[in-house]
Amino acid sequence: MAYLSLLGAGPGDPELITLKAVNVIRQADVILYDALVNESLLSYAKPGAVVRFVGKRYGCHSLSQQEINHLIVSYARSHGHVVRLKGGDPFVFGRATEEIAAAKGAGIPVQVVPGISSALAGPAGQMIPLTSRGITESFWVTTGTTLTGEISADIDLAARSSATIIILMAMSKLEAIMDIFAGYGKSNLPVAIIQNSSTDREKVVTGTVKDIVFKAQHAGMSNPAVIVVGKVVDLKDMTGTVQQLIDRHEER
């Protein structure tokens, strides 16, 4: 039976995938996986399953989204159950809606199995809470760039708020993004950059809006990375009580 399953593989650590996702991988006739998927997860595939890389890596030819959509439909019709394995969560900048539309347009049923997004797991792995009572009550998750390659207008809106800001796919625009925060008088706001979160290649740099670009360049930071901007970054290496942290920020 033709069928599409959209699976979230989590942030990179192969243990941070749900049990349901593993069980679905085991049932798949075809697995189409992305660049940020830990390839050890492919060991769950059943014998004879078609396993194909369809992700995007810098400097390598990659399939267009239209080509991926075509593969999903053609493999579902020829083989049956297709698993589309995506890093993080399928619905967090995963272009899942386009693949669902292609499958449903061809009369192919779809199920979605959520995954842990790096937007949440990256900070958590560094003991950075996205919210903390008395410090911040909300958080934004936004992409650094739009479809046209411009900085998202949501960055400007987020920079005006008191929320924690998590920015994905933004290292190429880091300096311009930090300039936006500085323009709202937030040069001293803490920033963390977490590259390859939850993997053995993880790198972390912390600083402030005014110096994080220099620190990131010095450390050779690049994508895939999660950028966290907000007072909660100071909780990463917290000494003293949360109230003392609140008092320190009120003095700034």
Q: Which residues contact 9 (CB under 8 A, 6 or more apart)?
A: 17, 21, 33, 34, 36, 37, 38, 41, 85, 86, 87, 88, 115
Predicted local distance difference test score (pLDDT) of residue 59? 47
Q: Which residues contact 25 (CB under 8 A, 6 or more apart)?
A: 7, 31, 41, 42, 44, 45, 83, 85
Q: Which residues contact 60 (CB under 8 A, 6 or more apart)?
A: none
Torsion, CA 197, CA 119, CA 33, CA 204, rounded to 10: -20
Distance CA 87, CA 37 (A): 5
Does 124 lie in the same domain as 99? no
- Annotated catalytic residues are 34, 56, 169
Predicted local distance difference test score (pLDDT) of residue 148? 87
Distance CA 107, CA 116 (A): 29
pTM for the model? 0.90
Distance CA 161, CA 210 (A): 18
Count up the domains in the chain and report the number. 2
Out of 93, 113, 133, pick the residue that ends a domain.
Answer: 113
Instruction: Judge whether 79 lies within some domain.
Output: yes
Name the strands in the sheet holding 139-143, side by side, starting at the edge strand that comes first in the sequence: 139-143, 164-168, 225-229, 190-195, 203-208
Distance CA 227, CA 194 (A): 7
Domain that residue 227 falls in: 118-238
Instruction: Judge whether 249 lies within some domain.
Output: no
Does 178 lie in the same domain as 195? yes
Instruction: Judge whether 106 lies within some domain.
Output: yes
Which residues pair with residue 98 across a beta bridge?
Answer: none
> Tokens at residue 3, please?
């069928």
Peptide bond into 129 cis (omega under 30): no
Burial of 220 (0-12, 13-18, 19+ CB in 10 A): exposed
Does 46 lie in the same domain as 13? yes
Distance CA 214, CA 207 (A): 9
Which residues pair with residue 77 across a beta bridge?
Answer: none
Instruction: Judge whether 243 lies within some domain.
Output: no
CATH, residue 183: 3.30.950.10
In a 3-state reduction of DSSP, which class is residue 242?
helix
Give the CA radius of gyration of the chain. Answer: 20
What is the mean pLDDT, run by run of 10 residues, along the chain of 252 residues? 96 97 98 96 98 75 87 98 98 95 98 98 96 93 90 95 96 97 98 97 98 98 96 82 58 54
Out of 47, 81, 113, pick the residue that ends a domain.
Answer: 113
